[in-house]
Amino acid sequence: MQRLKSLRHSVTTASLRFSPHWRRSLLKSVADSTAAATREGEDLQNQVLVEGRSCSRAAVLNRPAALNALTTNMGIRLKKLYESWEDNSDIGFVMMKGSGRAFCAGGDVVALYRLIEQGKVEDCKDFFRNSYMFIYILGTYLKPHVAILDGITMGGGAGISVPGTFRVATDRSIFATPEIHIGFHPDAGASFYLSHLTGHVGEYLALTGERLNGVDMVAIGLATHFSMSDKLSWVDERLAKLMTDDPSVIDSSLAQYGDVVYPDKTSIVHRLKIIDKCFCHDTVEEIIDALEEEANRSNQDWCISAVKKLKEASPLSLKVSLKSIREGRYQTLDECLVREYRMSLHGISKEISNDFHEGVRARLVDKDMAPKWDPPTLEHVSVDMIDSYFSPLEEFEPELKLPTNLREAFV
């Protein structure tokens, strides 16, 4: 809008000095800019679509070309929609789904990278603040929530779905928290929900970025139901007809139109004993040593792959992420989000390390797949560096303020 005001001012000034041709050109420029701004506003509005049903509403993430990666605007819009739906007594429950081949690939980290390049760190802070605020609202939501996790569900995509009541995985679902491979940490509430999974599988997922299919998501509790993707239209049709706010009715409907599936021989459920044995250790170095010993003994592909992934990840991110998961095990959702907000702001500041900027550059921008981590090895990561990630924000930098006095976390 500031740009439009400036352009209008230039038209007024120019009309006193220039010919009619110049005036027409400048007026056309204003018209074009106004139209562009209108289109941009419409595009922002269309990033989250709304489907109205008799007794429910559905938010549809709608950036299919970007795998529905989250933007600041999407976080703001989701928060606004969910708060209004919660206050509407005619709405019994709420749904979320994605358009295209993804549910949500997480935060738009390339956009964050560009903002950092431009020195717009405040805009990055807005993204994290609004995203985490919405996640807290979802985690304390008073109405049943159904997320259809059809396709890619990674990072922040899991963050905006796992805290809800029901999560429906499909044969197209792909879950991962791959942040350590871009020099970051599993955030968006990941330190809460990963740490509450069985045994030490949360550490395994956080430190390797391992991908899970829909069956495994159900098996370890990340999803509550499973449906073949070609049956989702039936599920959607059934839910659209429900006139209820009773979670048990929604649960039975999802089960009725869902599919019973069993883990195959490659499933994570067959690795849990070894995962617990290796990832229970106190340090990343001990975890890698235990995995290497197991890989040499058993020669299992997944074990060899886990070692490789750990050695390719940012050493600092590995140590920070391990501590984050361990702390999350004894914290509430709001405590995890406040801590993750600190960690995220420290992580993008470049004051401790440049790993986030370098990781996004290497894997998503230049795509040379050769990030130069700093520090380059685990032994060079000091305790002070790790602790700095968890330290309170500076005097003039406000902490994340969640409405805990109005909305109390259930766990």
The pLDDT tens digits for 25-50 are 433 433 343 333 334 444 777 999 99
Per-residue confidence (pLDDT) for residue 36, from 0 to 100: 38
Q: Which of 98, 106, 107, 258 is catalytic?
A: 107
CA angle (20, 22, 23) in 5-degree steps: 60
Per-residue confidence (pLDDT) for residue 261, from 0 to 100: 87
Domains in the chain (CATH in brackets) are 45-390 (3.90.226.10)
Q: Which of 75, 92, 155, 179 is catalytic?
A: 179
Indicate the average pLDDT of the chain: 90
Residues 172-203: tens digit of each pLDDT:
999 999 999 999 999 999 999 999 999 999 99
d(CA 406, CA 137) in angstroms, rounded, equals: 10
> Which residue do the tokens 């049903």 mark?
53
Helix (H, G, I), strand (E, B) or coil at 263: coil
Q: Which of 150, 187, 210, 216 is catalytic?
A: 187
Residues 339-374: tens digit of each pLDDT:
999 999 999 998 899 999 999 999 999 999 999 999
Catalytic residue status for 156: yes
Per-residue confidence (pLDDT) for residue 408, from 0 to 100: 79
**Which is it for the CA torsion 208, 213, 219, 223, positive or negative?**
positive
d(CA 405, CA 269) in angstroms, rounded, equals: 39
Per-residue confidence (pLDDT) for residue 411, from 0 to 100: 55
Catalytic residue status for 179: yes
Q: Which of 156, 157, 209, 347 is catalytic?
A: 156
Phi-psi region of 99 (alpha: psi -120 to 50; beta: other; left: phi over 0): beta
Per-residue confidence (pLDDT) for residue 389, from 0 to 100: 95
Confidence band for 21, pLDDT divided at 50, 70 and 90: very low
A 10 A CB-CB count for 128 gives: 25
Per-residue confidence (pLDDT) for residue 45, from 0 to 100: 77
Catalytic residue status for 90: no
Query: Residue 386: CB partners within 8 Å, gap ≥ 6?
Result: 316, 319, 320, 323
For residue 267, which amino acid is it?
Answer: S
Catalytic residue status for 237: no
In the structure encoding, which two tokens stand for residue 243, read together? 């006139």
Strand partners, 104: 153
